[in-house]
Amino acid sequence: MKNIGGLLIDLDGTLFHGGRMIPGADKLIEGLRTAGIPFLFVTNNSSRTAAGVAAHLQGMGIAAKPEEVCTSSLAAARYIAGELPEARVAILGEEGLIDACTAAGLKIVEDDPQYVVQGIYRAFTYDSLARASRWIMGGAKFVLTNPDLMLPSDDGVMPGAGTIGAAIEAASGVAPVVIGKPEAHLITYAASILGIKPEEAVVVGDNMRTDISAGVNAGCRTVLVLTGLTTEENLEHYKTVTGVTPDEICRDLAELMAMLGV
């Protein structure tokens, strides 16, 4: 794979599983730095700040800086600020989303918002649902950070931002603008941070439904690594389900490094 303007690298399932680094992840990032290949860590996770994501990576031995992290919260906040600077936003989300909206110059309000922006929100209640639905039916634009229905946790899977978003959509009758993977917004925003066009970017990830589909939707080249959700056994199934095919497939991160020459 030649003429790479930058890599947009997924996290969970690609560089780590929960709190455990996938073998070779630290060497991959070291190799990219040494080779001078630009990259960003790109995640649908909306709960953590960029600094929090970087700290999580550092704790596993993967060198990371906050400015190398692009989250769905950051992309959502920039999307709103790009449409309407200093917009009034009601946030149904956690630290990462609040921090991103504040940094983007948006006005966080408790009533009469112009936008309702929602991510993972573990304090979500019936009242939250009622208020969000009323605002959206009243004309506020509904923005969803990411459509993940379920998330892994130490106690098993738990409902994700997409599950909450589905409840709000059902109550309000309005579909959200989805920012995170598999939609293109997060990927195109990450490419813009690197100062490159989507066609110059290469999306690296383990999930055909999210990572690879998002890369295709954004017009990027894609590399699937068989380190997480997608395996040799279920690859053909996911190709059929998603209707997409990665440009390259690597069995592990060592094979990815060899392909990149790092």
**Pick from 180, 222, 253: nearest CA to 15:** 253
pLDDT for 84: 98
pLDDT for 3: 87
CA dihedral 184, 152, 28, 5 (to 10 degrees): 0
pLDDT tens digits, residue range 99-141? 999 999 999 999 999 999 999 999 999 999 999 999 999 999 9
Q: Which of 10, 99, 148, 206 is catalytic?
A: 10
Distance between CA atoms of 171 and 119, rounded to whole angstroms?
17
Distance between CA atoms of 242 and 237, rounded to whole angstroms?
9
**Whether the predicted pLDDT of 152 surpasses 80:** no
Chain centroid to CA 85: 23
Check if 12 is active-site: yes
Q: Which residue has the tokens 């690597």?
A: 250
Check if 127 is active-site: no
pLDDT tens digits, residue range 20-70? 999 999 999 999 999 999 999 999 999 999 999 999 999 999 999 999 999
Give the helix ranges, DSSP H, for 61-181: 72-83, 95-103, 126-137, 161-172
Percent of the chain, pLDDT > 70? 99
Q: Which of 12, 99, 148, 211 is catalytic?
A: 12
Count Cβ atoms within 10 A of the Cβ of residue 156 and give its class: 0-12 exposed, 13-18 middle, 19 or more buried. Answer: exposed
**Whether the predicted pLDDT of 86 surpasses 80:** yes
Q: pTM (2 decimals)?
A: 0.95
Contact 103, 140 (CB under 8 A): no
Please give the sequence-ordered ranges of beta strands (E in DSSP) within 145-228, or none if there are none.
150-151, 158-159, 177-178, 201-205, 221-225
